[in-house]
Amino acid sequence: MELQARILVCLMVLFCAIAASDVVRAGSIGFCYGRNADNLPAPQVVAQLLQKEGITKVRIYDYNTSVIQAFAGTNIEVIITIPNEELSNFQTEAPADQWVNNFVAPLYQSVRITVISVGVEVPILHPDSAALVLPAMQNVHTGLTKANLSDQIKVSTAHSMAILKTSFPPSSSTFNDSLATTFVGPILDFLKATGSFYMVNAYPYHAYMSESDSIALDYALFDPKDVVVDPNTNLSYHGLLMAQVDAVYFAMEAMGHGELSVMVSETGWPRAGDADEAVANVQNAATYNNNLLRLVLNNTGTPHRTGNPLDAYIFSIFDEDKKPGKSSEQHWGVFDTTGNTFYYLDLTDADQGNGSSPQSFNGTGSTWCVANPSASNQSLQVGLNYACGKGNADCGPIQRGQPCFIPDSYVNHASYAYNSYYQRSGDNPAACDFGGTAIITSENPSYGSCVFPADSVGYLASINGKSSSWRIIPCNIMGRCLFLLTFLLSML
């Protein structure tokens, strides 16, 4: 018996090691904390909000001490930034060493600073300062090395997609000729030498707005009617962001750096805009960010790098009313200043890791299960029999004389029965199948006096204690492992 128990323990240890390695490789979602606004909550309140919602990564655009200290003891990973206008202060080792010793090292004792971004989109926003980026990166890294922090804190710089000469097809992507040798190449060499990664700010919204004649909106939102195929590789793309990320991968490979990984340091979709920005709306913002969450947290990777789960940062936590430019620039926020979201974010599928396909969202979180119009009457009858029988669906409203009997069709009756079963199953996507005859929709199928019920899952919690549907951690694998190990050890 003792030998059997020891064998079981060994097997469990092996299982837990494999499970743990899978968790480490998982993609992750963070949020960008832009603060160009005059009505934002205090940083301590923001930190509490992120903790309450299970958000474990945040990116800020400077190194403001009071903001960073708000995350002390929270276990939230923080990306800090050396602003473009300060790059000239880091051109020699001495000031960089002083900054690391006097600022970074003391904060690191209580705050999980993981990345220092040296500038943001410098060649595009401040081309005259492009030559300052690499020396600043090198000096900051040297300072971290002297402080024994270079293994814990990586140094990188955030790039715009505009740094690419071409991005489609992804396999033909290259960096701009004027930057490839003088700017990009040396930075890629530095990232490889220091074990860091490439940061890219990728916005399908901006790509669509500038090329709406050649980019389909549903493709930009991860929900295309037709996939886009790279003619050189035959790789299929179901979302523009994934094609953008692969374009970066191919461009780096063309320069001999296929070993580097890519972090999407900014992405998102605005929820409002000017009259000529009609696609900046709540429904599209909800669709884009929900589908992004599914793809990242289900470890989908990209078509070219399926083995590389993606890390992505959604822009932004809040709206920024002081940002210049078009109205959309001020409306990228997901949360309002009280801690509620402007639209629903559904992490249920990502939690379960069931790989459900992207879909459209209406911004409220309500979904319905209806019959597929192309299904045969015979197969719909089978589904009806199950839903109204063993499925315990409420099929009273589709009986003769009741509000949902007309139209008297298999599709209509099956839709109501399917939806009843689906809603009673807690909106579980697995409950909307019925042999492939059912589909999930965000369009309310109710008509006249026939009301299809919907369990609209509540908005994300605010810090005043409302229930939350935000769950970043897919499952507590290690917790289950420890429980099983404890149980087995008790048998020895």
> pLDDT per residue over 329-365, tens digit each?
999 999 999 988 888 776 444 444 444 556 666 666 6
Residue 464 located in a structural domain: no
Tens-digit pLDDT profile for residues 370-428: 999 999 999 999 999 989 988 888 999 999 999 999 999 999 999 999 998 888 776 66
**For the chain, what percentages of helix, strand and coil (3-state, to nearest 5) are there?**
40, 15, 45
Residue 489 located in a structural domain: no
- Residues with active-site annotation: 121, 266
The per-residue pLDDT for 17 is 47
Q: Are 429 and 332 in the same domain?
A: no
Strands (E), 167-221: 174-175, 198-201
Distance CA 412, CA 423 (A): 17
Tens-digit pLDDT profile for residues 53-64: 889 999 999 999
Residue 16 located in a structural domain: no
Q: What is the CATH number of the domain that holds 224?
A: 3.20.20.80
pTM: 0.73
Q: Are 41 and 121 in the same domain?
A: yes
Residue 62 located in a structural domain: yes
Q: Are 69 and 32 in the same domain?
A: yes
pLDDT bracket for residue 201 (50, 70, 90): very high
The per-residue pLDDT for 20 is 43
Q: Averaging pLDDT over each range in 119-133, 445-459, 472-486, which range is the top one?
A: 119-133
Residue 26: pLDDT above 80?
no
pLDDT bracket for residue 180 (50, 70, 90): very high
Q: Are 107 and 61 in the same domain?
A: yes
- The rounded percent of the chain whose pLDDT value lies above 70 is 82
Tens-digit pLDDT profile for residues 216-258: 999 999 988 889 999 999 999 999 999 999 999 999 999 999 9
Residue 85: pLDDT above 90?
yes
The per-residue pLDDT for 396 is 93
The per-residue pLDDT for 2 is 56
Q: How many domains does the chain have?
A: 2
Task: Provide the domain limits for residue 188.
Answer: 27-352
Lowest mean pLDDT, pick from 72-81, 87-96, 148-157, 296-305: 296-305
Last residue of some domain: 293, 319, 352? 352
Last residue of some domain: 441, 456, 477? 441
Core vs surface per residue 433-450: b (16+ CB within 10 A) or e = ebeebbbbbbeebeeeeb
Residue 173 located in a structural domain: yes
Q: Are 156 and 210 in the same domain?
A: yes
- The rounded percent of the chain whose pLDDT value lies above 90 is 65
The per-residue pLDDT for 6 is 54
Place of tokens 């097997």: 11
Residue 456 located in a structural domain: no
Lowest mean pLDDT, pick from 121-130, 248-257, 445-454: 445-454
Residue 183: pLDDT above 60?
yes
Lowest mean pLDDT, pick from 9-18, 197-206, 249-258: 9-18
Q: Are 41 and 101 in the same domain?
A: yes
Q: Across residues 444-461, what is the average pLDDT? A: 67
Q: Are 73 and 180 in the same domain?
A: yes
Question: How far is Cα of residue 83 from the mean position of the Cα atoms in its chain?
Answer: 25
Q: Are 346 and 402 in the same domain?
A: no
Q: Are 40 and 187 in the same domain?
A: yes
Neighbours of 239 (CB within 10 A): 26
Mean pLDDT of the chain: 85
Q: Across residues 450-462, what is the average pLDDT? A: 55
Q: How far is CA 163 from CA 122, 182, 247, 417, 451, in A?
A: 10, 13, 11, 53, 52
Q: How far is CA 458 from CA 23, 38, 282, 473, in A?
A: 28, 28, 16, 19
Residue 56 located in a structural domain: yes
Could you tell me which residue, 112 or 295, shows the higher pLDDT?
112
Residue 200: pLDDT above 60?
yes
The per-residue pLDDT for 289 is 92
Q: Are 343 and 430 in the same domain?
A: no
pLDDT bracket for residue 431 (50, 70, 90): confident
Q: Are 105 and 161 in the same domain?
A: yes
Could you tell me which residue, 105 or 224, shows the higher pLDDT?
105
Residue 477 located in a structural domain: no
Q: Are 246 and 321 in the same domain?
A: yes
